[in-house]
Amino acid sequence: MEKYLVHTIGKFYNVISYISASYAGDKAISLFTKPRKGQITEEQDEFLGTAFQEELQFEKKPIMTYRWLGKKKTILLAHGWESNSARWKPLVFKLKNKGFNIIALDAPAHGYSKNNSFNAILYSDYINVVAQRFQPEIIIGHSVGGMAAVFCQNKYKLKSVQKLILLGAPSEFKNILKRYTDMLGYNERIVNQLNSIIIERFGNDPNNYSTAKYLESINSQGLIIHDEDDDVIPYTEAIQIKQSFKNSKLITTKGLGHSLNNETVASFISDFIEA
């Protein structure tokens, strides 16, 4: 049913594009950048209530942060698309028991962080605001949270960051965009309009936004964890990232899917942090 609805939306915008390509493109980019999920449930709120909560700001938009105090190094957690900071619950418990100081943030338009839309570039600015406040030595990002963390480190060159951990992270923004346009079945008029909108808004071609490319100039130690069966971000993107991230290690899992929210993965992370 959902797949049928997606195709119906795509066909509708395709028809509209012959009347106004710019209008269809605006609708397509709006759909692409507005999460349908990621708001906090009552159960998740109970867990997040165990943290010290502090609201920061970027361009007058609130960024919600959560802090579990510890005496060891500070770790910053950045979740992925249509998620929120509660997804880190198992990892928070593991790292908290080991004495680490843990910070998590809700991404733009997710959880209790507010914005009208979401993208990895904006997310990287949110991460920078939080990193400036808490000075993490380690950043862990899941999915697009990993991409945003790399974008942040490439742009702001945070001196405190010693290690980057990327979980199921995408390498190329152009591939994310293509999977979206293919899923909706958009015609070439809309695809071209989307590219033009991105260039106009962000000053760069979608092909230039690359996790792998940005990692070439990053000297932090890296851990990449990606599942062979990831049906959201293909495993081949982990290979691209590993080839560019000179001071990194790639761990390949099997059967864990995209979420990687697993005790085995948590142990890999813990071992890498403590090494």
Asked if 186 and 16 count as a contact pair (C-beta separation under 8 A), the reply is no
- For 252, other C-beta atoms within 10 Å of its C-beta total 13
Q: Which pLDDT value is given to residue 7?
A: 78
CA atoms within 13 A on the CB side of 99: 4
Q: Are strands 74-78 and 101-105 parallel, antiparallel or unpaired?
A: parallel
**Residue ranges of the chain whose pLDDT lies below 50:** none
Sequence-distant (≥ 6) Cβ neighbours of residue 63 within 8 angstroms: 55, 56, 57, 105, 106, 113, 126, 129, 130
- Residue 226: helix, strand or coil by DSSP? strand
Q: Which pLDDT value is given to residue 5?
A: 76
Asked if 170 and 211 count as a contact pair (C-beta separation under 8 A), the reply is yes
Q: Which residues pair with 65 in a beta bridge?
A: 54, 105
Domains along the sequence of the chain with CATH: 1-33+173-208 (no CATH), 47-171+210-275 (3.40.50.1820)
Give CA–CA dist 87/107, Å, rounded: 12
What are 153-186's pLDDT values in tens digits? 999 999 999 999 999 999 999 999 999 999 999 9
Cα-trace Rg, the chain: 19
